[in-house]
Chain A
């Protein structure tokens, strides 16, 4: 049955809305779609093989198949199954019991301590390593998802050059040639592009290469600069420091466009520290309060008690407005964030002042 949608009355005044460019242009195709629910030929059955015919043929074939099976003698035995144990027993291997390995997943500024659960030599799950001094047993979303990387069919399985696959011998020959020319002129003109990491192994290799190729140059590239917290903290404290957030000790937390339980580094620690004061064993247990000022909807914003959605450019003015109201010296006291409810900032600043040092 053809369903004709009820006519949608166009508003006499105000904006006119449209769902597609065709509707806006009022093309004949579009008008035809409005008239006909299905395109021509879609609802008429022209195939000579009907569903009824198909089922008839199939049931007859199953019947014949069954008769054939019965006539060829009883093949209804259960299939014989083989158990094939190892030829040489691997040490400490027990089939059916997973093995756990302590490992780590590198991040830009450190690593997430992990315990990987492996079944028959295949890792199937990672969890945080609570025995590690720099971990509270938490992981972040990247660590949880990293297990899928191992089974990703798009994972690189070989070397490519200019988009085409090359074998390992060619690549090693090429690299050997490269090192020969680099050694000849002490690495002049050779550049290394790498991503941000503080891996000690890489530092060691860096040092070794630097001894041989003193004129080679090193560059680090990162699409998102997560070093900004370190820089800001260093500027605030007057010496080079890297901030460690004790969210479990805080009563009031203000996040200025910082997705600290989502995509930021150290999220594996932040998540449990943040939620430590969100669990109530008794009704009188203290709860923390999270204020979030952000442009995008992040996991931190989702967990906020008070979330303020602003354009990313307005965050810094909100920061100075907050700072001036809290009473930080040296901030323009008249700082005002345009387009932001001043009551929100005032309430947040009041809350911060009431919980000074917490």
Chain B
């Protein structure tokens, strides 16, 4: 047989086993690292230059999201408010609070506050806030219950799967466009009733507002 199988083929089974082990380890390590929520920044909560609490402002005081993020309905970019926006209230409320020193200084000098970015889609993804918000996709669907967060954190993984789940079936998440910033809003306090109404009204809104279920690659990767 040695004429057909040269001597090195004796080592072939061992080589195959070693190769499979190596590749298997690499795949496991890759999945372990890349496919976990931590990789997609879930729970990421950097220390911000000013300890701004969404819980106080949006939750307890009931400020509308759009008071500060006023461009969210007009632009792809949902703006971080300028320091002068904070001073609209804080020139009377907590006027001399030391925690707001940086805001006062920034509003006076015009030097921006360096907020740390939390939510970020990669550069190869086109995401437009105004399109989603104006068609009845609430802030809460991506950003989570911001009105209960003391410091803002990354609520869930904003991966492509996450986008596609909703794009394949927008009716399951859509709500009346006037309720988008009411983060606690539900169709009904009863979960079963809420699910029924979501299905019923979701399809109606999708139809009436001509919401498209965009699944082309080029819808986002343009």
Contacts and interface: CB of A to CB of B under 8 A. Distances in A.
A49 interface: no
Nearest to B41: A78
A94 interface: yes
Contact of A94 (B71, B83, B84, B120): B71
Contacts of A85: 79-83, 112-113, 115
Interface centre among A78, A83, A87, A88 (most CB of B within 10 A): A87
Contact of B110 (A80, A81, A88): A88
A80 B45 CA distance: 12
A89 to B, nearest CB: 4
A76 to B, nearest CB: 9
Given A83-B115, A85-B113, A87-B112, A94 B75 contact: yes
B216 to A, nearest CB: 22
A70 B106 CA distance: 40
Interface in A58-108: 78, 80-89, 94-97
A97 B108 CA distance: 27
Interface residues of B, number: 27
B116 interface: yes
A87 B111 CA distance: 5
Given A88-B110, A94-B71, A96-B71, A82 B77 contact: no
Interface string B105-143: 011111111111100100000000000000000000000
B76 interface: yes
A273 to B, nearest CB: 36
B107 to A, nearest CB: 6
Interface string B31-50: 00000000001000010000
Nearest to A87: B110
B199 interface: no
A97 B106 CA distance: 25
Contacts, number: 68
Contacts of A84: 112-115
B85 interface: yes
B74 interface: yes
Interface residues of A, number: 15
Contacts of A80: 46, 116-117
Contacts of B106: 87
Nearest to A85: B80
Contacts of B77: 95-96
A97 B82 contact: no
A96 B72 CA distance: 10
A147 B77 CA distance: 26
A95 B75 CA distance: 7
Nearest to A88: B84
A89 B71 contact: no
B71 to A, nearest CB: 5
Contacts of B111: 87
A97 B131 CA distance: 13
A80 B116 CA distance: 7
Nearest to B76: A96
A87 B76 contact: no
Contacts of B83: 85-88
Nearest to B120: A81
Nearest to A82: B114
B109 A87 contact: yes
Given A83-B117, A88-B110, A97 B74 contact: yes
Given A94-B71, A96-B77, A97-B74, A89 B82 contact: yes
Contacts of B81: 85, 89
B71 A88 contact: no
Interface in A14-39: none
A81 B85 CA distance: 22
Looking at A81, A86, A96, which has the most chain B CB atoms within 10 Å of its CB?
A86
Interface string A45-65: 000000000000000000000
B1 to A, nearest CB: 41
28 contacts: A80-B116, A80-B117, A81-B117, A81-B120, A82-B115, A82-B117, A83-B114, A84-B113, A84-B115, A85-B80, A85-B83, A85-B112, A86-B84, A86-B112, A87-B82, A87-B106, A87-B109, A87-B111, A88-B84, A89-B85, A94-B71, A94-B74, A94-B79, A95-B77, A96-B71, A96-B76, A96-B77, A97-B75
Interface of B: 41, 46, 71, 74-77, 79-85, 106-117, 120
Given A83-B80, A87-B108, A95-B77, 12 more contacts: A78-B41, A82-B116, A83-B115, A84-B112, A85-B115, A87-B84, A88-B83, A89-B81, A95-B71, A95-B79, A96-B71, A97-B74
